[in-house]
Amino acid sequence: MQTKLLAAGVQIAAGPPKLFKKALAKKRSDMTTKVHFDSYGCFTSIIASTIEPYPKEGFGFLGGKTSHKIRYHKSSKDIIIQAAYPLQTAKRKEDKVEFKDLKSFKRTRNLLNCLGFDIIGEYHSHPKENLLKITKDDIDHDIEEIKELKKENLAISFKWMDLIIGINRKRYKTNFGEQSEWIKDKNKIKGTVRDRKFGYKFEITGYLFDINNPKKYDEANLFLPSK
């Protein structure tokens, strides 16, 4: 903390008071867009479709809606994810997914609109390598996708989400021990899925891109579905 020297030699803190700092941090977290999973059904589709191709990447689309809320006399918008669909024709590799069949890609993505959902974004996994952050390739793909969706005039959310599923396999010595569980940890969702001697550790991060300025993105505040 910075300090200011007084003439009498007494030092006082020059930074903002603690209470003010707390209020500022709260205001910042209030401004972060909240993203909720509507049900464990849709959440499970994402998890299962990233475990299945492991150690290759999993990929799919997210559909849902925007929920308008009034908090402290201010209106805000949350995103609700209601549908997750894995793209079956994607060519999966350990460090990327290739879309060879663009017609299938567009058909599947656009189908979300036909079924009554806004297109919220996409999800893909980052297996093994502990790479939990969004990459430059991811960002380039997201910017292209936003341009494309706007050109095609599709119903999209006010922000585009790239949901990154960090996944690592663990081997256990016994059939017992760590249990399958999910927790919210700050803005992320973390969890373990255990199947006897194998377990999969997850760290899920959502990146939200501004539809009108796609080069600008920030981390979403993710919430687990309620039981």
Residues at the site binding Zn ion, with contacts judged by CB under 5 A: 138
Retrieve residue 84's tokens. 């997750």
**CB 30 to Zn ion: min, Å:** 29
> Closest separation between CB of residue 118 and Zn ion, Å?
23
Residue whose CB is less far from Zn ion, 80 or 97: 97
Which amino acid, 148? E
Whichever of 26 and 133 has its CB closer to Zn ion, that residue is: 133
Cα distances (Å, whole numbers) of residue 116 to 11, 51, 157, 170: 62, 28, 13, 39
Q: Which residue is nearest to Zn ion (CB)?
A: 138
At residue 180, the 3 state secondary structure works out as coil
Based on CB atoms, which residue is closest to Zn ion, 109 or 194? 109
Please say which residue, 138 or 210, places its beta carbon nearer to Zn ion: 138
Closer of 119 and 167 to Zn ion (Cβ) = 167
* Of residues 101 and 138, the one with the C-beta less far from Zn ion: 138
Closest distance of CB 135 from Zn ion, Å: 5
Strand ranges in 32-112 using DSSP code E only, listed in sequence order = 34-37, 59-71, 74-86, 91-92, 97-98
The continuous run of DSSP H or E covering 123 comes out as strand 118-127
Report the nearest approach of Zn ion to the CB of residue 15 (Å). 38
DSSP string computed for 88-106: TT-EE-SS-EE---HHHHH
Q: Are 79 and 161 in contact (CB under 8 A)?
A: yes
Cβ-based neighbours of 176, under 8 Å, separated by 6 or more: none
Alpha-carbon torsion, ordered 126, 109, 104, 60, to 10 deg: 20
Amino acid occupying residue 177: G
CB of 66 to Zn ion, least distance (A): 25
CB of 128 to Zn ion, least distance (A): 13
